[in-house]
């Protein structure tokens, strides 16, 4: 079976995403965000767009969203998704990493099995301020109106928070759910 590709956008937790998936015995490989889309289309079964410092350093990532593969965007990955599909990203009211309580308003396939409120670890230096047309709001918090979104018919999901860090409540569940989404599309 082909691996899930984790796109390294120079974020401090991208290697932790890889480690988490491998610990879960999910085949995954880290790739640079300069990898040609053709190679990705041929060599993987799903994509995780990792975090990073800025949209300007996100390389080819927006073109990866045209490949028809399931995609999970984490932090900057969510921002790449939002901008690609006509949403907006602006500086958040709260910056830096820290805990936040998230209200899940739509328990779809990526957030299946979670309670209505969870504590997560997130950065809100930048955040989605306008959700793209056709996307569903999955979660919000008191400091961010779009903590998670989905374009389910394309199997594209985005989270503001970091499921790979131990501070996030049952973060591995997101990766289990994403892996199941990929398996269901094969």
- Report how many helices (DSSP H) and strands (DSSP E) the chain contains, helices first: 5, 11
> Coil, strand or helix: which one is 106?
coil
C-beta of residue 166 within 8 angstroms of C-beta of residue 25: no
CA distances from 45 to 28, 91, 98, 118, 125 (A): 10, 33, 32, 29, 31
C-beta of residue 121 within 8 angstroms of C-beta of residue 161: yes
What are the structure tokens assigned to 124, written together? 């809100």
What are the structure tokens assigned to 17, written together? 């995403």
CA distances from 131 to 4, 8, 12, 34, 78 (A): 26, 24, 26, 26, 10
Catalytically annotated residues: 75, 162, 164
Report the distance separating Cα 75 and Cα 73, nearest Å: 7
C-beta of residue 166 within 8 angstroms of C-beta of residue 148: no
């Amino acid at each position: 079976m082909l691996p899930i590709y984790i796109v390294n956008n120079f974020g401090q937790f991208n290697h932790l995403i890889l480690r988490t998936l491998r610990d879960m015995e999910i085949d995954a490989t880290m790739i640079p965000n300069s990898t040609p889309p053709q190679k990705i289309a041929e060599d993987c079964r799903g994509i995780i767009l990792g975090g990073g410092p800025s949209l300007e350093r996100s390389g080819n990532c927006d073109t990866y969203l045209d490949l028809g593969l399931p995609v999970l965007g984490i932090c900057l990955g969510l921002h790449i998704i939002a901008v690609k599909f006509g949403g907006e990203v602006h500086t958040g009211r709260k910056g830096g990493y820290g805990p936040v309580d998230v209200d899940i308003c739509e328990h779809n396939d990526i957030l299946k099995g979670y309670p209505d409120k969870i504590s997560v670890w997130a950065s809100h230096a930048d955040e989605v301020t306008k959700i793209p047309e056709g996307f569903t709001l999955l979660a919000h918090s008191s400091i961010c109106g779009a903590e998670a979104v989905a374009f389910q018919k394309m199997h594209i999901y985005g989270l503001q928070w970091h499921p790979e860090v131990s501070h996030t409540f049952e973060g591995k569940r997101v990766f289990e759910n994403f892996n199941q989404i990929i398996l269901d599309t094969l």
